[in-house]
Chain A
Amino acid sequence: MRSLRRPRLLAPFLLTPLIAGCFASGGGDSGDGGGKGGDGDRLRVALAFPPAENLSPYGADATLLSRLGVTEGLTALDANGSAAPALAESWRRDGEKTWEFTLRDAIFQDGSDVTPDAVADSLGQAVRAKPAPAALAGVGLTAEAGGERVVRVTTAEPDPVLPLRLSSPSLAILSAKAYEEKGGKADAVGTATGPFQLTKVNGATSASLDRFDDYWGGRAQASGIDARFVADGTARANALRTGELDIAEAVPVAQAASLDEGTRRDTATTRTTSLLFNASSGTFKDAGLRAAARGAVDTSVFAKDVYEGYGDPGAGIYGPAVTWAEGKRSAPVGRAGAGKPGGDDVIDLATYDNRPELPEAAQVVKQQLEKAGFTVKLTVREYSRLEADALDGKFDAFVLARNTLLDTGDPVAVLASDYTCDGGFNIAQLCDKDVDRAVADAEKIADTAKRQDAAMAAEARILGSDAVVPLVHQRIITGVADSVQGVILDPYERTLVGTGTRR
């Protein structure tokens, strides 16, 4: 017995290498944050959504790459929601279906030049990806080199918003090296053009990035980024408070008050939380009852109380982050007179709990509708367990947080998909001739200002149908440590870290 004891004491030490393998790699050594040669510290960033597809540029992970300053497209979105130059210096329309983009002098992170051929090939890969990136859904697009610095992009149908479309993070330009792996996968590690390059990705846990010294827009001030993917909002806020992080993305409203005032920055986003009524079946098929329900909902309490001031009261489908919308808004058109709620119909109100504020908002809606004489039953589920039923029209009412500028940045796209007969995301089940016509008119217009006017005219029609009641326009709270400067607070949630971000 005694002779066995000593080896037993040693056993834990033998296990040490094994145990070390059980910890997550990366992130831990970021504690001292020493940069390369002392010029610019590394930034420690926590992002809310872990990569689902190994940071593939074709899905939702594309946004992560773009927020970390890894990838760029030909164009970008400016503060007003118009296309701005990125890898393309300028562009012009050449006939109905073709656009010509003139590239700037840039090089990929693997050292090769950004040539028209490389760009055309990269876009071609995105077109051939299965499933195709959302921004390209239903668009037949071909790209070819059209000169020394020119890429010609042709679409099957005339596409007036092509420059906006190409700003989508999922249409980022990668070098030929990214596509060497078979199976249609694109690898953004060291093949993009942004100010930071990925060096290591640890599954869905963390990623390391180094500054890309030859970035066309100048060297970034931070020497690199240690990105962590932390799904729990409270955990992100806690880590920021303990100084483990420099930037924490999307701090939940409930945690905002626990951060110092200087640490929390809020930005208006294009995300609108709305109450949708099922206009095709059930109680709210009756426009009068929709009007009565709309009248019963007092939208002032949502921004002030449920969102604790981190939101703006619902004004329309587009919120204040869509800067041009407010000035062009007209009164809703074609509203029906309010009916009288009655009968024993139970209203099925549904929402999802992936965003913690939504169940709270839905409970307030429930009480307000009940005060007006409706009987309401609330269903709360995880989003993926709910959406199919919602799209099938199984609920009478739905509280939805929706990004109003989608992947393309085109304001009309959300109207077409959410509120027209053929729309693919028509939870309101709205099918109204006037709305369809207004949206179709807007889709045809190429001129930005006129397209915006037409979008607002369509919005007035849609609001007039009372199929949607905008409750609140969300503001996103980014936690930024005091020492950090130059964080890009982007209403489109496409950028976060840039060349000027440092600590």
Chain B
Amino acid sequence: MRQRVATAVWRVLLAGGLVCGVGLLPWLTRTDPAYTVLKARSAEREPTPEVLDDIRRQLGIEGGPVQVLGNWLGGVGRGDLGQSWLSGSDVLPGVATALGASLLLMGVALLVAVVTAGAVCARTLRLGGQRRLGGRRRGGTGSAVLASLPEFLVASVLATLVGVQLGWLPALGWYGPQWTVLPALALGLPAGAVLGRLLDDLLPGAFAEPWALAAAARGLTGRSVARQAVRRCVPALLPNLGLFVVGLTGGAVAVEQVFDIPGLGRTTLQAALAQDLPVLQAGTLALVLLAALATGGARLAARLLTGPAVRDGALSSLHRPAPPGRLLPPVLYGAVLIVVAGVGLGRDPLALDTGQRLRAPSPAHPFGTDALGRDLLARVGHGALDTLLLASAISAAALLLGVLLGLVPRVAAPLVDTVNAVPPVLLALLVTAVVGSGAATPAFAVGAVAWAPLATHTAALLRQERATLHITATKGLGAGRAYLLRHELLPAVLPPVLRHALLRLPGVALALASLGFLGLGAQPPSPEWGLLLAENQPYAERAPWAVLAPAAVLALLGALAVTAAGALRRGPRGGRRPARPDSSAGDGGAGDDGGAGGDGGAGGARGVVGVVGVVEKEAVVVR
């Protein structure tokens, strides 16, 4: 009980600190809010001292940060969230409308994600229901590729193809049900692929449990066995869904932009850039509350579905030693990547020739040229080095931080929720405020999010490992805590978390590029992959190859990570346990493979989907 109170207090402290931190943003970043407000109102207006003074008086910020924050907190106590600094209108109705639009979008996207996830697992469900799953090797390249597609790319392709070329659905606006379809598809397809992979990884374990055999023997149809298997696995995914809900509500900026949806993502982005603090604070508050609701809701739903079983420790492990993945696909993907990079490295990525702009692929330019006539093969090849090096460095740092924080889950779990609720741009600004805008800032900004899923994963695996018999035996032999950690726990936990970090590489690369407009991260003419995607996006319709090349290598990287993680499974951990004769193609854990990093996108480092499910799942595991 005391621990629960402590966690609750920590959670409230974090949320309070966040909202106050937002309230002090201009003073932390040393950027005059009068200036950013003026520029947001009218970019061409000269920032003369008189004008800035007038605005300061108008906003009532001459009193300094403490007074401004105090006034705001006083207002919140009375249910008054203040007036927007930008437009002067009341904050509450505006943010409520934006939140409504975002929640609706998220809701439909969730629906799409569920259907997509269903499609991804359809084969496993069918085979499992008929008990023909035995020994099936895992595929998953297709869903991994889908999961690593950036949202903004899916959005613009859908808008152009379905909205304009085919004319089936409106390509712009937010006025009724038919307007929700395309944006929801753009958000839901990649997310659904991630969820589907998670579920698909869990299902074989469920089908291999004794009840499934008994049910089949009793004559239940394959359909009802499959339904029960889904029900058995869904609780493990619910916390993922919770984070997904919050992430999409505040972080769908790119999709809102492409389809012109007046959602919360754009509202907070604009407010963050203009330092319109009242709007920013209200938006953050709403997202933090939503995060608390989502976490609570996920816990409640999981308890409703599997409550008694958890209490009685009556569940068996969903984890089973899996047959190692095939070696051929990762080798093949890796070889293609290396060949592309190798050939590209021999060419000049910066040589402009505006006369050769947007040329289709040809022998001279195998991947075509971009809007300035640069060779895309060269840019993809040279970008590989920058992208992979930086993304790997960030992933390594996030891995270290994640494992360390994962050792103290009570501290980390509320932190994960809070970090997930902050709009990505705001988080980048806060990070910039703390560390300044140096060369390492983008790494910090992306790393500030990237650790969260890894920490959750580590915590979950630790909890599971602590409950195993061999740990009890080692303790019985007199081993101390340090010995246990070093010789038993960490060796067991590190490999899957490492594989997981690997899976998030493409997402990290995309998140890096999404910070460019703040002057963080790669700057043109760097051929960094995320930047390549962003700068060629306006030409997606006229020169599809210009976005196809970077998107394809990124997807290839995702597929490589997923298949390589499967092949890596022949580690010492897998070898230590004897494979059970009846083992169907279960797998080492959702988090191990699930989160093929399809999160980044222009929306930013929204990386928690795909992992946190492990927490709940591990909670129900008794070995």
* Interface: A424 (CB within 8 A): yes
CA distance A356 to B100 in the complex (A): 31
B352 partner, pick from A23, A205, A367, beta carbons under 8 A:
A367
Most buried by B among A204, A233, A236: A204
A230 touches B260 (CB 8 A): yes
B55 touches A384 (CB 8 A): no
* Interface: B582 (CB within 8 A): no
Q: Mark B4-41, 1 if CB is under 8 A from A, else 0.
A: 00000000000000000000000000000001101111
Give the chain A neighbours of B371 by CB distance below 8 A. 254, 360
A52 touches B176 (CB 8 A): no
- Further pairs besides A305-B354, A363-B525: 12, Cβ < 8 Å: A24-B101, A52-B86, A203-B94, A235-B159, A235-B257, A238-B159, A242-B171, A359-B524, A362-B524, A380-B523, A384-B36, A388-B35
A235 touches B171 (CB 8 A): yes
Question: Are A241 and B164 CB-contacts (below 8 A) given A53-B86, A382-B273?
Answer: yes
B172 touches A230 (CB 8 A): yes
A356 touches B103 (CB 8 A): no
* Interface: A381 (CB within 8 A): yes
* Interface: A323 (CB within 8 A): no
Give the chain A neighbours of B104 by CB distance below 8 A. 19, 22-23
A137 touches B48 (CB 8 A): yes
- Interface positions, chain B 43-98, Cβ under 8 Å from A, are 43-48, 50-51, 54-55, 57-58, 86-89, 94, 97
Q: Which 4 A-B pairs have the closest CB atoms?
A: A28-B175, A305-B354, A60-B42, A381-B519
Contact sample, A vs B, 30 pairs, CB 8 Å cutoff: A21-B100, A23-B175, A24-B101, A52-B42, A52-B86, A59-B41, A59-B42, A60-B42, A134-B42, A137-B50, A204-B87, A230-B172, A234-B159, A238-B164, A241-B164, A254-B539, A255-B538, A257-B542, A305-B354, A305-B357, A366-B525, A367-B351, A380-B516, A381-B517, A382-B519, A384-B35, A388-B47, A406-B44, A424-B48, A425-B46
Give the chain B neighbours of A231 by CB distance below 8 A. 257, 260
A24 touches B43 (CB 8 A): no
* Interface: B333 (CB within 8 A): no
Give the chain B neighbours of A382 by CB distance below 8 A. 273, 517-519
Give the chain A neighbours of B355 by CB distance below 8 A. 301, 305
Question: Are A24 and B273 CB-contacts (below 8 A) given A356-B538, A363-B524, A403-B44?
Answer: no
B164 partner, pick from A51, A242, A306, beta carbons under 8 A:
A242
* Interface: A105 (CB within 8 A): no
Most buried by B among A60, A131, A252, A359: A131
A22 touches B524 (CB 8 A): no
* Interface: B134 (CB within 8 A): no
CA distance A388 to B39 in the complex (A): 10
A238 partner, pick from B89, B97, B103, B172, beta carbons under 8 A:
B172
A258 touches B262 (CB 8 A): no
B372 touches A363 (CB 8 A): yes
Q: Which residue of B lies closest to A49 (CB)?
A: B43
State the Cβ distance, A239 to closest chain B Cβ, in Å. 4
Give the chain B neighbours of A241 by CB distance below 8 A. 164
B354 partner, pick from A306, A356, A366, beta carbons under 8 A:
A306
* Interface: A228 (CB within 8 A): yes
Question: Are A384 and B273 CB-contacts (below 8 A) given A242-B171, A378-B524?
Answer: yes
Give the chain A neighbours of B101 by CB distance below 8 A. 22-24
State the Cβ distance, B105 to closest chain A Cβ, in Å. 8
Interface residues of chain B, those whose CB is within 8 Å of chain A, are: 35-36, 38-48, 50-51, 54-55, 57-58, 86-89, 94, 97, 100-101, 103-104, 156, 159-160, 163-164, 167, 170-176, 179, 257-262, 273-274, 350-352, 354-355, 357, 371-373, 516-519, 523-525, 535, 538-539, 541-542
Size range of the chain A interface in the assembly: 35 or more
Question: Are A60 and B538 CB-contacts (below 8 A) given A24-B175, A235-B172?
Answer: no
Q: Mark A222-253, 1 if CB is under 8 A from B, else 0.
A: 00000010111111101101101000000010
* Interface: A498 (CB within 8 A): no
Question: Are A242 and B170 CB-contacts (below 8 A) given A384-B40, A388-B35?
Answer: yes
* Interface: A485 (CB within 8 A): no
State the Cβ distance, A93 to closest chain B Cβ, in Å. 28
State the Cβ distance, B29 to closest chain A Cβ, in Å. 10
Q: Which residue of B lies closest to A306 (CB)?
A: B354
B171 touches A130 (CB 8 A): no
Q: Which residue of A lies closest to B437 (CB)?
A: A385
Q: Which residue of B lies closest to A238 (CB)?
A: B171
Q: Which residue of B lies closest to A382 (CB)?
A: B517
CA distance A53 to B175 in the complex (A): 23
Q: Which residue of A lies closest to B370 (CB)?
A: A360
State the Cβ distance, B537 to closest chain A Cβ, in Å. 8
Give the chain B neighbours of A54 by CB distance below 8 A. 87-89
Q: Which residue of A lies closest to B267 (CB)?
A: A204
Q: Which residue of B lies closest to A28 (CB)?
A: B175
Q: Which residue of A lies closest to B429 (CB)?
A: A385
State the Cβ distance, B228 to closest chain A Cβ, in Å. 14
B39 partner, pick from A301, A363, A384, beta carbons under 8 A:
A384
Q: Which residue of A lies closest to B156 (CB)?
A: A234
* Interface: A79 (CB within 8 A): no
Q: Mark A117-141, 1 if CB is under 8 A from B, else 0.
A: 0000000000000111010010000
B517 touches A23 (CB 8 A): no
CA distance A328 to B37 in the complex (A): 40
Q: Which residue of B lies closest to A130 (CB)?
A: B54
B262 touches A205 (CB 8 A): yes
State the Cβ distance, B224 to closest chain A Cβ, in Å. 15
Question: Are A385 and B174 CB-contacts (below 8 A) given A130-B54, A257-B542, A425-B46?
Answer: no
A353 touches B257 (CB 8 A): no
Give the chain A neighbours of B274 by CB distance below 8 A. 384
A134 partner, pick from B46, B89, B519, beta carbons under 8 A:
B46
State the Cβ distance, B521 to closest chain A Cβ, in Å. 11
A244 partner, pick from B48, B172, B516, beta carbons under 8 A:
B172
B372 touches A364 (CB 8 A): yes
State the Cβ distance, A104 to closest chain B Cβ, in Å. 30
Most buried by B among A185, A238, A356, A391: A238
CA distance A480 to B396 in the complex (A): 52
Most buried by A among B89, B373, B525: B525
A239 touches B171 (CB 8 A): yes
Give the chain A neighbours of B87 by CB distance below 8 A. 51-54, 204
